[in-house]
Amino acid sequence: MSKYIFVTGGVVSSVGKGITVASIGTILKSRQISVTAQKLDPYLNVDPGTMSPYQHGEVFVTQDGAETDLDLGNYERFIDVNLTAESSVTSGQIYSEVIAKERRGDFLGGTIQVVPHVTTEIKDRFKLLAEKSKADVVIIEVGGTVGDIEGLPFLEAARQMRNEVGRDNILYVHVTLLPYLNSTKELKTKPTQHSVNELRRIGIQPDIIVCRSDYPISEEIRNKISLFCDVERKAVIPLTTVSTIYEVPLVLEEEGLGQLIVDKMKLKPQPPSLSQWQELVNLIKTPRQPVKIALVGKYVELQDAYFSVREALQHAILHHERDLELIWVPSETLENNGDDSILRTVQGIIVPGGFGIRGIEGMVRAATYARENKIPYLGLCLGMHVMVIEFGRYALGSDEANSTEFNADTPYPVIDFLPDQKDEKNKGGTMRLGNYPCQLVNGSRAAQAYGQELIYERHRHRYEFNNDYRERLEKAGMVYSGLSPDGRLVEVCEVADHPWMLACQFHPEFGSRPGHPHPLFRDFIGAAKDILREGAQPPLPLSSNL
């Protein structure tokens, strides 16, 4: 039977609860305890798929095609598991399921209430993941902050679980922020006390409090939190801000969190080994020659919108023992002959996923720049559409080549709905979501990167390469290096006669892990790292006998 760890948040959001959950996963896994994770999102949307990235950051896609919160990406990267739809639960899903059951008559004339009907539905989701994963420990992150109206049914369900599974099989971890007052130069514990009071009011006494702070946390503060919040002194775990998220598991282990969890939950672990993580952090902290990459996108003001892309670049950079200098370029600034001087300094250009017309022409300009100046280019999903539009304009000799997503009446719809998708379009459109197979063409850069011919990658898009243009673009030098096994869908394409210009219809960023960079990101950085740009100093010759 699985045991459960519930992680709640106090004081404010965005203090790194997701990374704490992911890191608890890492330190348990390092003891050979199998773990999985689940995120409870209190909003009423059924999933974040329809939410703007400005509201919610990146939409992370699981292999089985669920559109989820970006925290799931952190769980996957830290725990090194592939999660499924069961790991993502929203209030929207819970309520729509309860109401559907009521309509079907499943409750036989009963009055439907938050307790027990909604809370039972929530608990069923906990148990479903436990059963399906067979993990020793299921770590469940309650989204939002304690005290939010929407989060109450989730907390109530978490409370009820204690009696169902027994005290030794459940643990409550509360992550709070200790604000720093500049006037008195001290950290304050009062907000933490209040949020713990709020939790207790709901019936949950935390076993462990993880204290986030930008400043060192003194013994006195720890004692105070222990006394006022009624947790053991050793269960007050300080987590001061670190320079890389990959250091968090090391800090928590150092503070004794792993042993504490093992003892409190009576787990049977192997000795912990976090040496890979230590090596990773050492590597990140060693200054090295930077590789300058431009990320040209429409949501760059909110970097969380490209969370997995940034992480995948970071994993690839570490493989090449370099530093990442990532330049965030708002694509709109490149439009209408805007200033593109920034592109003259970068060694690689990446165009990530996205929806809607805003900023597209700026991305196309970046792709033209990459093609003409032979700068490595990696296009991800929308970034492939952009590369195909740009190449189409060049090959067909018309600026009107476009995707029907951006110009429904273009005479050259190089990206379009496929003929059998048109019906779906009328019904509102469905997306291709989750893992699909792709056959790589021998000898291509893609096949070289993966070192195998059949791959599976995660998708999230509606539009596809229009096969009517395959031949014409091929004649001008486009290579179709990855196709669906039936040959109907172009999944990867490359520009011949270019050092490295490749784009894929899927999202490789979701599959990259620290220590195992994704092959396409790895080879993109591999191609970019040796490119010399304006203002760059060529390395000095090592030998001085000149």
**Residues designated as active site:** 381, 507, 509
Q: Which of 16, 143, 151, 353 lies at the binding interface for ligand GLN (CB under 6 A)?
A: 353
In the chain, the amino acid numbered 43 is Y
Which H or E element spans position 3? strand 3-9
264-303 footprint of ligand GLN as x/- string (CB under 6 A): ----------------------------------------
Shortest distance (Å) from residue 404 CB to ligand GLN: 10
Q: Does 406 bind ligand GLN (CB under 6 A)?
A: no
Shortest distance (Å) from residue 75 CB to ligand GLN: 21
Separation of alpha carbons 91 and 47, rounded Å: 9
Which residue in the block uniquely carries the two structure tokens 């165009």? 351
In the chain, the amino acid numbered 75 is Y
Shortest distance (Å) from residue 306 CB to ligand GLN: 11
Helix (H, G, I), strand (E, B) or coil at 348: strand
Q: Does 355 bind ligand GLN (CB under 6 A)?
A: yes
Structure-block tokens of residue 429: 């459109």
Closest by alpha carbon to 411, among 423, 396, 422, 425? Answer: 396
Query: What is the number of the residue whose Cβ is closest to ligand GLN?
Result: 353
Q: Does 461 bind ligand GLN (CB under 6 A)?
A: yes
**Residues 221-240 interacting with ligand GLN (rule: CB under 6 A):** none
Toward ligand GLN, which CB reaches closer, 160 or 484? 484
Q: Evaluate whether 315 touches 73 at the Cβ level (below 8 Å).
A: no
Q: Which of 460, 498, 518, 529 lies at the binding interface for ligand GLN (CB under 6 A)?
A: 460
CA angle at 473 for the pair 469 and 478, rounded to the nearest 5°: 130
Toward ligand GLN, which CB reaches closer, 405 or 491? 405
Structure-block tokens of residue 443: 């000898």
- Cα Rg, the chain, nearest whole Å: 25
Q: Does 86 bind ligand GLN (CB under 6 A)?
A: no
Q: Which of 381, 447, 478, 531 lies at the binding interface for ligand GLN (CB under 6 A)?
A: 381
Q: Which of 41, 58, 405, 509 lies at the binding interface for ligand GLN (CB under 6 A)?
A: 405
Count interface residues toward ligand GLN (CB under 6 A): 10
Helix (H, G, I), strand (E, B) or coil at 293: strand
Burial classification of residue 533, based on how many CB atoms lie within 10 Å of its CB (0-12 exposed, 13-18 middle, 19 or more buried): middle
Q: Does 153 bind ligand GLN (CB under 6 A)?
A: no
Q: Does 25 bind ligand GLN (CB under 6 A)?
A: no
Shortest distance (Å) from residue 355 CB to ligand GLN: 4
Separation of alpha carbons 504 and 386, rounded Å: 11
Toward ligand GLN, which CB reaches closer, 188 or 432? 432
Q: Which residues contact 337 (CB under 8 A, 6 or more apart)?
A: none
Structure-block tokens of residue 526: 């591999």
Q: Could you tell me the CA-to-CA distances from 83 to 56, 199, 254, 278, 434 in Å, in that order?
A: 20, 29, 28, 25, 12
Toward ligand GLN, which CB reaches closer, 249 or 359? 359
Q: Does 463 bind ligand GLN (CB under 6 A)?
A: yes
495-515: string of b/e by CB count within 10 Å (b at 16+)?
beebebbbbbbbbbbbbbebb
- Taking the chain, what is the end-to-end CA distance rounded to the nearest angstrom? 71
Q: Does 434 bind ligand GLN (CB under 6 A)?
A: no
- Taking CB under 6 A as the binding criterion, the range among 8-16, 112-120, 157-165, 454-462 that sits at the site for ligand GLN is 454-462
Shortest distance (Å) from residue 431 CB to ligand GLN: 7
- Taking CB under 6 A as the binding criterion, the range among 98-106, 122-130, 350-358, 528-536 that sits at the site for ligand GLN is 350-358
Q: Evaluate whether 439 touches 409 at the Cβ level (below 8 Å).
A: no
Q: Which of 118, 236, 245, 382 lies at the binding interface for ligand GLN (CB under 6 A)?
A: 382
- Taking CB under 6 A as the binding criterion, the range among 176-184, 443-451, 458-466, 486-494 that sits at the site for ligand GLN is 458-466
Closest by alpha carbon to 502, among 493, 491, 511? Answer: 493
- Taking CB under 6 A as the binding criterion, the range among 48-56, 181-189, 347-355, 493-501 that sits at the site for ligand GLN is 347-355
Separation of alpha carbons 365 and 334, rounded Å: 7
Helix (H, G, I), strand (E, B) or coil at 173: strand
Q: Which of 147, 153, 272, 354 lies at the binding interface for ligand GLN (CB under 6 A)?
A: 354
Q: Does 462 bind ligand GLN (CB under 6 A)?
A: yes
Closest by alpha carbon to 138, among 7, 263, 266? Answer: 7
Shortest distance (Å) from residue 358 CB to ligand GLN: 12
Shortest distance (Å) from residue 300 CB to ligand GLN: 15
- Taking CB under 6 A as the binding criterion, the range among 108-116, 135-143, 284-292, 352-360 that sits at the site for ligand GLN is 352-360
Separation of alpha carbons 434 and 97, rounded Å: 23
Cα 415 from chain centre:
26
Structure-block tokens of residue 93: 């899903």
- Could you please report the per-residue DSSP string of 473-486? HHHTTEEEEEE-TT
Shortest distance (Å) from residue 97 CB to ligand GLN: 27
Shortest distance (Å) from residue 337 CB to ligand GLN: 25
Residue numbers at the binding site for ligand GLN (CB under 6 A):
353-355, 381-382, 405, 460-463
